[in-house]
Chain A
Amino acid sequence: PMEVDLDKLPSGTSDPDKLAKMNALLSQFTEDQMNRYESFRRSGFQKSNMKKLLASITGSQKISMPTTIVVSGIAKMFVGEVIETARIVMSERKDSGPIRPCHIREAYRRLKLEGKIPKRSVPRLFR
């Protein structure tokens, strides 16, 4: 069976209006933005690794492909939210350079307040 990377396929190609908007946006990109956008499109969790993780969490070996795909997509977007928020924290603090754990922690705290983090039934004691 063919192994196709879903992220490589352009999103919304069936909608001409969406496609036009996307092209308009992409044509405005600087080279740096384009590189980063390409990295974003190509990046993702490996299906095999996600399957292993899901299997270990559920205790079941039978993890369907659609489940793996959905969780991978959700997790990727979640990572994006954390990083985006961390960048906002950095700009507020006028910090430059690489993202540091303190930025991530503050981002995590804000996302928690926004209700974007699923609540644990058993709370973590140390973080």
Chain B
Amino acid sequence: VMSSYWPFGLTGCLSVGQEMLLPRISKRNKTPLPETVALVEDIVVEYITDLVHKAENVASKRGKLLTEDFLYLIRKDMRKLHRSTELLSMNEELKQARKAFDVNEETLVVTNE
């Protein structure tokens, strides 16, 4: 829980123009320097690219890229590992909730006819 609190200001709203990811890093919500943003973007895109290539190597025997491949790569990074598994289970919960919602909707329609 404590690890998810960053003491430093980070406002990240990333939008893509081609392969551009633009984080806005702000100190006390002021606008960051554009050259800093550009550099961080560069670094992040490179990070993601290298991460994906490594995951593809791990997945190569199987062929298809799975989330397990990424979890394997970050297995020694506790913060990233916990957050990733948390996000995945939240996503799964939402999926199940939506399914249940759709089923309930159908039931409602049937009983109203």
A interface list, Cβ under 8 A from B: 1-2, 4, 6, 9, 11-12, 18, 21-22, 25, 32, 35-37, 39-40, 43-46, 48-49, 52-54, 56-58, 60, 63-67, 69-71, 73-80, 82-84, 87, 97-101, 103-105, 108, 116-121, 124
Give the 4 A-B CB pairs with smallest separation, nearest first: A49-B16, A43-B12, A118-B50, A39-B11
What's the minimum C-beta distance from B14 to chain A, rounded to whole angstroms?
5
CB pair B35–A108 under 8 Å, yes or no, is no
Give chain B residues whose Cβ lies under 8 Å from the Cβ of A82: 40, 43-44
The answer to whether residues A120 and B40 also contact, given A6-B90, A67-B65 and a CB cut-off of 8 A, is no
Give chain B residues whose Cβ lies under 8 Å from the Cβ of A2: 94, 98
CB pair A57–B11 under 8 Å, yes or no, is no
CB pair B98–A99 under 8 Å, yes or no, is no
The answer to whether residues A78 and B91 also contact, given A46-B14, A71-B70 and a CB cut-off of 8 A, is no
CB < 8 Å neighbour of A118 from B23, B73, B80: B73
Q: Give the interface SS of chain A, mostly helix, strand, loop or mixed.
A: helix
CB < 8 Å neighbour of B45 from A25, A53, A103: A53
The answer to whether residues A74 and B80 also contact, given A98-B36, A118-B47 and a CB cut-off of 8 A, is yes
CB pair A49–B14 under 8 Å, yes or no, is yes
How many residues in B have their beta carbons less than 8 Å from beta carbons of A?
62
CB pair B88–A69 under 8 Å, yes or no, is yes
- In whole angstroms, what is the CA distance A60 to B94 when docked? 26
CB pair A83–B10 under 8 Å, yes or no, is yes
**B113 contacts chain A at the CB level, 8 A cutoff:** no
Give chain A residues whose Cβ lies under 8 Å from the Cβ of B66: 67
CB < 8 Å neighbour of A53 from B2, B9, B12, B48: B48
CB < 8 Å neighbour of A67 from B53, B70, B98: B70
The answer to whether residues A104 and B40 also contact, given A49-B21, A69-B91 and a CB cut-off of 8 A, is yes
Give chain A residues whose Cβ lies under 8 Å from the Cβ of B4: 11
CB < 8 Å neighbour of B83 from A1, A4, A57, A77: A77
What's the minimum C-beta distance from A16 to chain B, rounded to whole angstroms?
12
CB pair A118–B16 under 8 Å, yes or no, is no
Give chain B residues whose Cβ lies under 8 Å from the Cβ of A97: 27
**B30 contacts chain A at the CB level, 8 A cutoff:** yes
The answer to whether residues A71 and B51 also contact, given A21-B1, A80-B10 and a CB cut-off of 8 A, is yes
